[in-house]
């Protein structure tokens, strides 16, 4: 099979991130194989939209990463591999740790073994998580009225770097952390060209956010539908957030530069310039939607970080990548996409207080 005939293989390709990546690749004229078991609610709509828009350039394999035989077949025609398929919720991992392990750790090992069996394996980009760093209990934080802040000026300026020790917490953290380390070791031991993205919060169109995962979209959906939001903790926890188009560009940059990136992990997120707390996001939603969603508060969840911001300098230095979509702009784009896909009109704007970003 010639290089021109090869496709980009996206495991979990019908999900939120996978759909955006597939659309970008297909729009550029490339072929894409979406490999997905369609277990996540709503993803069949994503797949149908890709099929309608792109036609025969889109290939579909309804299969599971726990099936090593299907994976071995799927990688044979791949020119690049983006491994996004995962069990993504800490809460689900606590309810069923074995399934969480089978999908995240064993599923990744199945893929790595499939690649290792090839004479010339294609490059691999694997999406890990900031949860591999644990609760970050040792960093000193203080709070104002809307967010936690750090006392360490260097951490405040740049965020958490890749030199931070792994500290796996929760079954989800363990399964993703194990997969993360397997990918890095297969690059070292077997020469597979692979890079790991330890991702912070990603948001954007095609995201069907829930209480357990995809909280930016979940907050917006709740506001649009007039449903209350439950905040676990006090709402002052801080994350850096990255618009999905910028993440897709980072994926493509990783493949282009895989020779210099292989065997390395990178913290990928919005960085210190794109941070928010849960309470601050609610202020932005109030500006967009003209009313503030009703809130409930509950206990902190296991492994929740009060403060996490990615130090993204390493990846930027090696590739020249940068974020282009600011947080408030990105939230507006997602909000308008959610309204459009629901056939809902935008509320008439009234005078409300400005958000704290």
Say how many CA atoms lie within 13 Å of 122 toward its Cβ.
24
Concatenating the DSSP letter of every residue in 44-93 gives HHHHHHHHHHHGGGEEEEE--TT-HHHHHHHHTTEEEEEE------HHHH
Alpha helices, H only, 274-312? 278-289
Annotated active-site residue in 35, 172, 182, 335: 172
130 touches 199 (CB < 8 A): yes
Q: What is the CA radius of gyration of the chain?
A: 20
Backbone angles phi, psi at 338, to 5 degrees: -65, -40
Which residue, among 246, 324, 228, has the nearest Cα to 282 in the 3D structure? 228
Which residue, among 320, 180, 185, 165, has the nearest Cα to 263 in the 3D structure? 185
Is residue 172 annotated as a catalytic residue, yes or no? yes
Tracing tokens 């597939």 back to the chain, one arrives at 22
CA distances from 98 to 87, 89, 128 (A): 11, 14, 19
Length, in residues, of the chain: 357
CA distances from 356 to 158, 222, 342 (A): 21, 20, 28
Using a CB cutoff of 8 Å and minimum separation of 24, what contacts does 113-119 make?
A: 113/68, 113/72, 114/68, 114/71, 114/72, 114/74, 114/75, 115/75, 115/81, 115/186, 115/192, 116/186, 116/190, 116/192, 117/72, 118/75, 118/76
Which residue numbers are catalytic? 172
């Amino acid at each position: 099979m010639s290089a021109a005939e090869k496709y980009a293989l996206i495991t979990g390709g019908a999900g939120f991130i996978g759909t955006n990546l597939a659309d970008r690749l297909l729009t550029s004229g490339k072929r894409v194989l979406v490999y997905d078991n369609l277990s996540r609610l709503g993803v069949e709509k994503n797949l149908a939209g890709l099929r309608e828009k792109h036609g025969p350039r889109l290939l579909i394999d309804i299969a599971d990463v726990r099936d090593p035989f299907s994976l071995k077949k799927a990688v044979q025609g791949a020119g690049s591999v983006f491994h996004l398929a995962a069990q993504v919720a800490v809460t689900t991992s606590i309810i069923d740790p074995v399934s969480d392990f089978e999908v995240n750790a064993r599923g990744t090992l199945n893929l790595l073994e499939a690649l290792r069996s090839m004479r010339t394996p294609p490059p691999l980009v694997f999406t890990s998580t900031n949860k591999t760093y644990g609760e970050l209990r040792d960093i000193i934080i203080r709070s104002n009225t809307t967010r936690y802040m750090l006392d360490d000026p260097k951490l405040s300026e740049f965020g958490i770097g890749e030199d931070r020790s792994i500290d796996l917490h929760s079954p989800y953290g363990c399964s993703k952390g194990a997969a993360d380390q397997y990918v890095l070791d297969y690059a070292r031991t077997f020469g597979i060209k692979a890079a790991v993205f330890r991702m912070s919060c990603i948001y954007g169109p095609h995201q069907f956010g829930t209480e357990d995962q995809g909280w930016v979209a979940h907050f917006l959906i709740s506001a649009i539908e007039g449903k209350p939001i439950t905040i676990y903790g006090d709402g002052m926890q801080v994350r850096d957030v990255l618009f999905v188009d910028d993440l897709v560009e980072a994926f493509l940059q990783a493949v282009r530069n895989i020779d210099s990136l292989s065997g390395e992990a990178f913290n990928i997120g919005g960085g210190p310039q794109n941070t928010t707390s849960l309470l601050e996001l609610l202020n932005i939603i109030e500006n967009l939607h003209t009313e503030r969603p009703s809130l409930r508060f509950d206990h902190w969840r296991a492994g929740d970080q009060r403060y996490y911001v990615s130090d993204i300098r390493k990846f930027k230095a090696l590739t020249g990548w940068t974020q282009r979509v600011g947080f408030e702009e990105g939230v507006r784009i997602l909000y308008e996409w959610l309204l459009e896909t629901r056939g809902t009109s935008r509320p008439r704007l009234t005078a409300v207080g400005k958000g704290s970003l």
